[in-house]
Amino acid sequence: MVPAAKELSKLAIPLGLASPVVILLLILWAWPAQIPERSEAPGADVSVVITAADMKAAEDGNADAQFSVAASMLADAELNLAYSAKAVEFLQRAAESGHTRAMLTLGLLYRRGVGAPQNYSLAAKWIENAARRGEPLAMLEFGRLYREGIGVGKDAVRAYVWLNRAAAARNPDAVHERAEVARILSAEELRWAQDESIAVNIPVTTVPGT
């Protein structure tokens, strides 16, 4: 017998004498007990663990460790808000040593103002640095900054340039967003933007998983 049925069997009202509406209400009363209280998204990391070795490597200046530890701290920031400041410190150190993912993450933190004070100038600085070093996601985000005029002057042509470069690096979001920007450009602006997209030789890394 299923748990809901067991609950119903304890009731004093014989089901045969109850109206359909009463039966439905009784079922709804018993059924919620069978629904899990919470469910995690597939692949969700619900137990962030930072080992002593990871922390030591980060403190010693290993950029990859700094980025990894910072990412773990930010994932757990709701449980310990003190992690945010330390995460920003590690991201700053990693970014200054040339770690492009740290640059991008730091830039996004400053853009959103969650985990760090909102600062569009710093957001544009770090996202641009990562984009010019060939980070596809940073190219996408830098194009968005130009499109929206955040931290840089609003410029649809330059937005297209960076979205075009991100699309060339196989970022799927950039393909759609590039098409949207292209619609508002004149033929001359579009030609210039496409030429500018390949004018500077920017090293491009592939998007993970593609």
| 159-170 pLDDT tens trace | 999 999 999 999
- On whether residue 179 sits in a domain, the answer given is no
Per the structure, the complete domain to which residue 22 belongs is given by 3-28
- On whether residue 9 sits in a domain, the answer given is yes
Specify the number of domains making up the chain.
1
Q: What is the pLDDT of residues 47-71, one digit of tens each?
A: 467 899 999 999 999 999 999 999 9
The span from the CA of 22 to the CA of 19, in Å, is: 5
Q: How many other C-beta atoms lie within 10 A of the C-beta of residue 78? A: 9
- On whether residue 98 sits in a domain, the answer given is no
Query: Which pTM does this prediction carry?
Result: 0.72
Q: Which of 39 and 143 is assigned the larger pLDDT?
A: 143
Residues in the chain: 210
